[in-house]
Amino acid sequence: MYRQILGYIPSNVVPAAVSFIMIYVYTRLLTPAEFGSYSFVFSAVIVLQTSLFYALPIAVMRFYPAALLEGRQNGLLKEAYAVFYVVSVALAVLWCLCGWTIGFPAADRTAAWLALPLLVFRSAVVLNQSVNRSTNSMARFNFIECTHATGGFLLGLAAILLIGRDADAILLGLLIAAVLCTFIDFRHLLIGFRRGVAAIDRATLMPLIDYTWPLVAVAVTGSILQLSDRFLLGSLGSAEMLGIYAVAYSLVERPTSLICSSISTATFPMAVQILEKHGPDAGRVQAGKNGAALLALILPACAGLALTSPIVAAVLVGHEFRSGVAILIPILCATHLLRGVRAHFVDHAFHLGGRPLMMLWTYAPAAAANIALNLLLIPRFGMLGAAWSGLVCQAATLVSGWVLGRGIFPLWLPVGQVVRAAIAVVPMALVLLLVPFPLSWLGLIGAIIIGAVVYTGAAIVLDVLGIRTMAMTWLRVAVRRFQRVPTSAGPV
């Protein structure tokens, strides 16, 4: 498991680093209102991408191990890409009809037309990457993820400098990067047209669709829960509020997603494979190990980011954004801690149990509550109202998901390891609170290094995830190997 996690580090670290660089640059080139306009359009793309295309990559990763055992993996991929093409064409037709008949607002017309191909090609990249994950094509996966993130930023920056400082330029750069990364895996796109690949079988296609459509319903409600605050903040508040909120959200979302993705990218397919080969008991034990690893990393990350929010805001964002971002980061850290545990651990019970539609019972009420709370709180408290609403609803979703999921696929969680990880955070938090780090790059780097060292030391002492035990085992093996190496010295 740890080798898999380490192997996928580039695909998580590079996009996260690029996102921080993007925030550093864009918040100095754009005003909060301009960044808010970009965030509004891009959030709409993410909502539609999650709602329409999120389920298919999950289904591919879920069914690929069984299809591989049966020798019909190419047939599964043909069916998956056929569904993708049908949804993409239907979306394009509907989008064009809306644009030609109803029309898009003049100020957003170019962005609206760019959003359609951006949505399709970003979704194609994600589907291709799910195939690479399922086939353990680690190097290819890492290369595409890094290229997608880096290319999107550099091309967007070039468009800003050449075309103008607005949302259209950033979206154009993201679109070109998505097109390039899609065609790196051109072989996946054409798998249905290869000779020797069996025709689509209704008997095997229907289980894929039956598994996928509930995930679509869940994804829609999950998107509403996660991103409705942006649309309501932009409508009930202002573009400036949305721009500041979006920057704070990205500063928290990227590192937490880095941790969660680095764990689940490597371990969720492993849990599925163990479930298929060794049965439910082995699958739930592996899922529990995944959850413990997730918590051991995301707890210190969220705590450290919340405690250093003034330094992060002073260093990484432009002057117009700083005060609002510093206030929002601690609240959003708590929200993303809960969201990461829910999405990358608790929700796996529904996927592994084969009943993803049941997640609606947790997502739908929370999404409705989030909209209601935002309507109530944003007019009175602005950005803080949106942030607190998200925190309350994510907490409710986590608790309800855990309770409901245990009746479907009872996940095992090593409570002792979780408690040790939480205790190991305490000395790190004390150091970050008591040491007066300067509001500069030196202070930020120092806080990161010292916090990481203190937490790592505490984790070793407490043997979090068995890290001390493994280190001692590796050391003993290394010593034994060294002692067995014969000396080359001989008589002269």
**Within a domain: residue 381?**
yes
- Residue 108 or 473, more confident: 473
State which residues form the domain around 235.
2-413
Residue range 42-54: mean pLDDT, rounded: 80
- In whole numbers, what is the pLDDT of the chain averaged over residues? 82
Residue 145 has pLDDT above 50, yes or no: yes
**Within a domain: residue 478?**
no
Residue 106: what pLDDT? 67
166-170, 298-302, 320-324, 347-351: which has the highest mean pLDDT? Answer: 298-302
Are residues 115 and 247 in contact, defined by beta-carbon separation less than 8 angstroms? Answer: no
- At 170, the amino acid letter reads I
**Within a domain: residue 97?**
yes
**Within a domain: residue 469?**
no
Count of domains in the chain?
A: 1
Residues with Cβ within 8 Å of residue 340, at least 6 apart in sequence:
256, 257, 259, 260, 294, 298
73-87, 304-318, 337-351: which has the highest mean pLDDT? Answer: 304-318
Question: Residue 25 is encoded by which pair of tokens?
Answer: 């640059």
Are residues 22 and 177 in contact, defined by beta-carbon separation less than 8 angstroms? Answer: no
**Within a domain: residue 261?**
yes
**Within a domain: residue 217?**
yes
- Residue 90 or 219, more confident: 90
Residue 264 has pLDDT above 50, yes or no: yes
Residue range 31-58: mean pLDDT, rounded: 81
Residue 93's CB is within 10 A of a number of other CB atoms, namely: 10
CA 369-394-223 angle, 5° bins: 75
Whole-number Å distance between alpha carbons of 208 and 130: 15
Positive or negative torsion for Cα 349, 353, 358, 359: positive
Residue 492: what pLDDT? 43
**Within a domain: residue 193?**
yes
Question: pLDDT category, 254, cuts 50, 70, 90?
Answer: confident
pTM, two decimals, is: 0.72
Residue 135: what pLDDT? 78
Residues with Cβ within 8 Å of residue 325, at least 6 apart in sequence:
244, 247, 248, 251, 309, 312, 313, 317
**Within a domain: residue 424?**
no
Closest listed residue to residue 244, CA positions, set 441, 18, 30: 30
Residue 208: what pLDDT? 63
Residue 213: what pLDDT? 65
